[in-house]
């Protein structure tokens, strides 16, 4: 994400949705950059962000992204420990719906094709969640493309197709998808619509699973329809 326009586009969108997210989660949001590391070489992150001003300040001081796009590695670093904690909590409580661990949504914003294999990482996380009967909305990952790089858009489409046989926990939005909707850039409204739509879809699945056997009602209008990781 080397162009200032894209960097600013992501910064503005995340700054706008942060106070909305924190209205519903007092813990705030966490922000990760793909290649940001501490002096010791550990993954760098910002936790419990609650105000738009904090997002702006972080983006202003962080170096512009450069280098390889190790998307899968970063997803494993972020969600691997979360899933491990969830597995341990299920083992202790004996119930996946009584762990006390809040569901998480990971928003991944990128302008380039991945340099590694995020599909395999997501597939393994999905299998682990299935083994402990995690609720459909326990983990969600939303990929957004910023910019018009064709390889990045194609990579998102291929990943979306490749994950159709695992639990429904991933949504991808390429530039072509946005362009068809008449949207020329990433916006807070676009982010929220996709994230909320995916959460509602998974919650609807839980409600349907809880219904007794027999004819099931249709929701009005048919089917319905936070951590950030930035490239």
pLDDT of residue 132: 97
pLDDT of residue 149: 87
Question: What is this structure's pTM?
Answer: 0.82
| Structural domain that includes position 201 | 4-208+221-230
pLDDT of residue 70: 92
Residue 180 in any domain: the answer is yes
Give me the CATH number covering residue 65.
3.40.50
* Angle of CA points 231, 229, 5, to nearest 5°: 40
Residue 64 in any domain: the answer is yes
Q: What is the pLDDT along the chain (231 residues), one digit of tens a residue?
A: 445 688 898 999 999 999 988 888 888 999 999 888 888 888 889 999 999 999 999 999 886 777 788 999 999 999 999 999 999 999 999 999 999 999 999 999 998 899 999 999 999 999 999 999 999 999 999 999 988 888 999 999 999 899 999 999 999 987 666 666 666 678 888 888 888 887 787 766 665 555 454 443 333 333 322 676 666
Who contacts 23 (Cβ-Cβ below 8 Å, separation ≥6)?
Answer: none
Residue 216 in any domain: the answer is no
Residue 214 in any domain: the answer is no
Residue 213 in any domain: the answer is no
- Could you give the number of structural domains in the chain? 1
Residue 129 in any domain: the answer is yes
């Amino acid at each position: 994400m080397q162009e200032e326009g894209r960097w600013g586009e992501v910064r503005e969108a995340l700054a706008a949705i942060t106070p909305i997210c924190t209205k519903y989660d007092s813990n705030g949001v966490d922000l990760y950059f793909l290649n940001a590391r501490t002096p010791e070489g550990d993954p760098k992150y910002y936790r419990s962000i609650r105000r738009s001003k904090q997002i702006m300040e972080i983006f202003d001081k962080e170096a512009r992204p450069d280098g390889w796009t190790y998307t899968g590695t970063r997803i494993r670093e972020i969600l691997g420990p979360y899933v491990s904690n969830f597995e341990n909590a299920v083992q202790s409580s004996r119930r996946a719906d009584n762990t006390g661990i809040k569901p998480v949504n990971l928003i991944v914003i990128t302008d380039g094709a991945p340099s590694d294999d995020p599909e395999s990482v997501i597939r393994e996380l999905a299998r682990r969640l299935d083994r402990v009967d995690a609720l459909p909305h326990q983990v969600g990952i939303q990929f957004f493309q910023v910019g018009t790089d064709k390889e990045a858009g194609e990579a998102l489409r291929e990943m979306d197709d490749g994950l159709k046989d695992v639990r429904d926990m991933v949504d991808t939005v390429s530039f072509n998808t946005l362009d068809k909707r008449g949207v020329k850039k990433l916006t807070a409204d676009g982010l929220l619509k996709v994230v909320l739509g995916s959460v509602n879809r998974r919650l609807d699945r839980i409600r349907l699973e809880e219904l007794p056997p027999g004819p099931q009602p249709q929701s009005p209008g048919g089917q319905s329809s936070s951590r950030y990781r930035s490239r």
